[in-house]
Each structure stands twice: as C-alpha cells, then as structure tokens.
Structure 1
Amino acid sequence: MKNTLFLRIFLFCLFTSIGTLKAQNTTNKSEKVENILEKKRNYNKSNGFGYNIQIYYGNETTAKSKNAKFKILYPRVNTKLVYNNPEWKVQVGNYKTKLEADRANLLFKKEFSGTIVIPMEKQ
C-alpha cells in the first residue's frame, strides 16, 4: 500500500515537472527574447563585458613591481599592465560577474591595499 502511494506521488511530480520544462522552453523561444539577447551580444562585442580588479594606479616602476609580485603570489590569475598617459594600471583577473570579482578582491586586499573592482575595458 505504501509503495503504490509513493509511486503515484512520484509519477505525479515527474509529469508536472516535465510539463513545466516544456512551458519554459517554448517561452524562451519568443522573438522578443531573441531580439534582446542579440542586442546584448552586440553590446558585449563592442563594449566588452565582465570585471577586472585594479590593484595599482600610478608610476611605471611601482606598477611593474606590483605586477611581478602579484604573478608570484597568484600565478593562475591573469594580469595586465595598462598605460593611460601619464599613469600605469595593474589589472588582474577576468570575472563574468561583479560578485565573482568582489569575492576575489577580498582575497587580494590582504596583500595589496587600495584594490578596486572595475568594469572590463574594451581591448
């Protein structure tokens, strides 16, 4: 008796969840959604997307020193030196969301003071 009741409840839940998945799939195929996604893709291509963490902004010598120190401490994290006349920036990481960047920034702040999360610059 318990097994048949359990089986009925299980089958009921299974069939209702399949119906919900079908409804979601047909909803996501609407033309408006596709247009919005295409606009977002084009925006990302032209403007870039994601976040970096800037660990230094200042003169060239210190920037190169901070960059080298960072590479030693975190060898798996991407780094780049950016020159905006007359200052140098050391930017690290490639994060898709600000939340990911904020979490990594908490780790980097232990070694580098004044770090900030910034939107990724177009390259």
Structure 2
Amino acid sequence: MRFLALEKIAILALTAFFYSGVATAQQGEINISKDPKIDKLLTYQKEINQETDNDTRLKIQIFNGKLRNAQKVKSRFEAKYYDIPANIKFETPNYKVWVGNFRTSLEAERYLVEVQKTFPNAFVFTPPKKKKK
C-alpha cells in the first residue's frame, strides 16, 4: 500500500519537473510615474548642500603645537584613517590638526571614540565662524 503512494508521488514530481520548463509567466510592461515635484526637491536639496559652509560643521581636533609635529600627526592620521579629511590650521601661536566634517554631534562622537584610540587628546568642537569682510 505504501509503495503505491511513493510511486504516485514520484510520477507526480517528475511530471511537474518536466512541465515546469514549458510553463511561461505573464508578460507585461511596467510603467513608473513620478511626480515632477520630486525632481524639484532633489535640485533644491543639492543647492542647500552646496551652500552649506563646511567650516560650520563639527570637527575633531587631534593636535595642537608646532608645525613640524602637526605635519607628522596629520600624516599618521591620514595613513590610518584615509576616509576622513585632515587639515592643518594656524591659530596664533600654534598649528592645529582638524579632522572630519561632521553634520551631527552623534556622528562626530561616534568617530571620536575610534580616533581617541590612536590620539587620546582628541575632542569634538565647532570651529569659529570666519569673519566676513
């Protein structure tokens, strides 16, 4: 009795397997329509991002001192963290190495934890605004 049930299942499985190659799916076209306001919003967002002054974003300072040492620290930072920009700024009487360009304090703090493993004196700050002439 059991043998007949297995035989029926095997025949059914083989039949389904051979007919699956012949079966076809529905053919059709897909039309995607979007509101033209989306393009305007994307253009507006690009303009806003270009207007944003990079100096108003949060940065991490990893060094403060002489120029020669600042250059060494910057090189060491760039070798390890090549994905984040580093700059040397002069503020009388010291040179400072500033890294990053973070939009939110959460983003800056997360990166600070990683940077402090190599540069323990690093801290997050907002650079002073440039004076307009």
Shorter-normalised TM range? 0.5 to 0.7
Give 1:46 deviation, angstroms: 7.8
Q: Matches of residues 1-123 of structure 1 in structure 2 within 5 Å?
A: 48-122=55-129
Q: Bigger radius of gyration, 1 or 2? A: 2
| 2:122 partner amino acid | T
Q: Is the helix fraction higher in 1 or 2?
A: 1
Give 1:99 deviation, angstroms: 1.0
- State the distance in 2 between where 1:93 and 1:116 align: 12
| 1:111 partner amino acid | T
Q: State the secondary structure of the residue aligned to 1:53.
A: strand
- State the distance in 1 between where 2:92 and 2:119 align: 23
The 1:65–1:46 alpha-carbon spacing in structure 2 relative to 1, beyond 3 Å, is closer
**Deviation beyond 3 Å, 4+ runs, structure 1:** 44-48, 120-123
Q: State the secondary structure of the residue aligned to 1:55.
A: strand
Q: TM-score, normalised by structure 2?
A: 0.55
Instruction: Count residues with an aligned counterpart.
Output: 81
Instruction: Tell me if the contact between 2:56 and 2:126 (Cα under 8 Å) persists in the aligned partners.
Output: yes
Give aligned-pair identity as a percent.
28
Give 1:50 deviation, angstroms: 1.8
**Structure 2: where are the runs of 5+ without partners?**
1-47
Q: TM-score, normalised by structure 1?
A: 0.59
- State the distance in 2 between where 1:89 and 1:121 align: 13
Task: Please give the root-mean-square deviation of Cα atoms over the aligned residues, in Å.
Answer: 2.3
Q: State the secondary structure of the residue aligned to 1:80.
A: strand
Q: State the secondary structure of the residue aligned to 1:110.
A: coil
Q: State the secondary structure of the residue aligned to 2:59.
A: strand
Instruction: Tell me if the contact between 2:54 and 2:101 (Cα under 8 Å) persists in the aligned partners.
Output: no
**Structure 1: where are the runs of 5+ without partners?**
1-40
